Amino acid sequence: MTSQTPLEAVIRAEIAERGPMGLDRYMALCLAHPQHGYYRKQDPLGMSGDFVTAPEISQIFGELIGLWVAQCWIDQGRPAPFALVETGPGRGTLMADALRATRAVPGFHDGMQLNLVETSPVLRGRQKETLRDYDVTWRDRFDETPDLPLLLVANEFFDALPIRQFERAGDGWRERLVAIVDEKLDLQSGPLRPEPHLSIRGDDLPEGGLIETSEISETIAAEIGEQLRARGGAALIIDYGYDATMRSRAGGVDTIQAMRDHNFVNPFDDPGEADLTAHVDFDALASAANVRKHGIVDQGAFLLGLGAAQRAEALAKTHPDQAHDVKGALHRLTDASEMGTLFKAMALTADPAPPPAAFPA
Ligand code: SAH
DSSP 210-254: EEEE-HHHHHHHHHHHHHHHHH-EEEEEEEEEE-HHHHHHTTS--
Write down the pLDDT at residue 122.
Answer: 92
341 lines ligand 1 (CB under 6 A): no
| Residue range 258-272, pLDDT digits in tens | 999 999 999 999 999
**DSSP sequence for 26-59:** HHHHHHH-TTT-HHHH---BSTTSSB--HHHH-H
| Residue range 164-206, pLDDT digits in tens | 999 999 989 999 999 999 999 999 999 999 988 887 777 778 8
If phi > 0 it is left, if psi is from -120 to 50 it is alpha, else beta; for residue 253 that is beta
Cβ neighbours of residue 196 closer than 8 Å, sequence gap 6 or more: none
Which residue's alpha carbon is at the smallest distance from atom 16 of ligand 1?
A: 88
123 lines ligand 1 (CB under 6 A): yes
Spatial contact of 20 and 188, defined as CB atoms under 8 Å apart: yes
pLDDT band at 351 (very low <50, low <70, confident <90, very high): confident
Segment 111-131 shows an average pLDDT of 97
Determine the distance separating the centroid of ligand 1 and the alpha carbon of 89, expressed in angstroms: 6
Q: Among the atoms of ligand 1, which is closest to the Cα of residue 156? A: 4
Spatial contact of 15 and 178, defined as CB atoms under 8 Å apart: yes
89 lines ligand 1 (CB under 6 A): yes
Relative to beta strand 233-242, strand 150-155 is parallel
Write down the pLDDT at residue 142.
Answer: 98
Determine the distance separating the centroid of ligand 1 and the alpha carbon of 157, expressed in angstroms: 5
92 lines ligand 1 (CB under 6 A): no
Average predicted confidence (pLDDT) for the chain = 94
Which helix (H) or strand (E) element contains residue 338? none
155 lines ligand 1 (CB under 6 A): yes
E strand residue ranges, 266-342: 275-277, 280-281, 292-298
Q: What's the N-to-C CA distance of the chain in angstroms?
A: 58
Determine the distance separating the centroid of ligand 1 and the alpha carbon of 218, expressed in angstroms: 16
Provide φ and ψ at 157, rounded to 5°: -100, -50
Which is nearest to 25 in space by CA: 10, 35, 4?
A: 10
| Residue range 154-163, pLDDT digits in tens | 999 999 999 9
| Residue range 286-330, pLDDT digits in tens | 999 999 999 999 999 999 999 999 999 999 999 999 999 999 999
**Residue 92's CB: how many other CB atoms inside 10 A?**
26
Between 45 and 301, residue with greater pLDDT:
301
Determine the distance separating the centroid of ligand 1 and the alpha carbon of 86, expressed in angstroms: 9
CA distance 129 to 113: 18
Write down the pLDDT at residue 2.
Answer: 58
116 lines ligand 1 (CB under 6 A): no
CA distance 308 to 301: 10
Write down the pLDDT at residue 251.
Answer: 62
Determine the distance separating the centroid of ligand 1 and the alpha carbon of 141, expressed in angstroms: 11
pLDDT at residue 116 tops 80: yes
Write down the pLDDT at residue 206.
Answer: 85
pLDDT band at 250 (very low <50, low <70, confident <90, very high): low
Spatial contact of 326 and 311, defined as CB atoms under 8 Å apart: no
Give the three-class secondary structure for 62: helix
Determine the distance separating the centroid of ligand 1 and the alpha carbon of 333, expressed in angstroms: 19
Determine the distance separating the centroid of ligand 1 and the alpha carbon of 232, expressed in angstroms: 24
CA distance 96 to 125: 14
Instruction: Estimate to the nearest angstrom the gap between the alpha carbon of 88 and the chain centroid.
Output: 7
Which residue's alpha carbon is at the smallest distance from atom 10 of ligand 1?
A: 88
